Structure 1
Amino acid sequence: MKRIVILSIVLLAVLALTLACQPTKVPTQPTPVPTAIAVFEPTSSFAAGAFPPPMPPIEQHNNAWLITDCLGCHDKDAGEAPTIKHKDLPEIYLNVNCRTCHVPKPAE
């Protein structure tokens, strides 16, 4: 009886080792890298209107960090200066430096 129990244990151990030590399948080709779904194109309308418009590189904007009277041109139609569209903001936002949000556009 002891012999049968020992033989059964040995057979189970051999069977377990045989099943556990099966060679794994190695892929023959590497997994392809997924390609980008969306490509950023600076000339496209991607996120159009999502950011404040940049300041054009004109002489009046050269010292934009020091200018505090942006509304002098942009609150009324002064030449080609566009009128601000955010007049509904609290007064404090209209008195801060416009460069906080509007970055200068580099000269081309």
Structure 2
Amino acid sequence: MARESGVTVRTLHHYDRLGLLIPASRTGGGHRCYTEADVLRLHRIVALRGFGFPLEEIGTLLDTQAGQDARGLSAEDFAALMKKRADAFAAMSPAERERLQAARARMIPPGVEIPGAEA
């Protein structure tokens, strides 16, 4: 799962320790087993990290919106998330912004447009 999602195994272990992404089960050898819901949660974590949210806040956001697709957010909730994203981006140093934009460019396939991704 790490390779397919663009994170390291160490990151998955870290998210497990923090309670952000707890595997559904483990094999007899101790390997983590993830469900489709876990994969979707990981994608949300990666996306929110890309927007500059700290892990603690991501946990709160995901737990508050458990099982809710981001497309189902109310206009007010979406606006609040976008404001937090803009505030986090504005607080970054120029070097941090450049790193974020480079990472975002690697994650978004060519030809796919993401609203607000220019910030």
TM more than 0.5: no
Larger Rg: 1
Report the TM-score when normalising by structure 2: 0.21
Q: Which has the higher contact order (CA 8 A, sep 6+)?
A: 1
Indicate the structure with greater helix content. 2
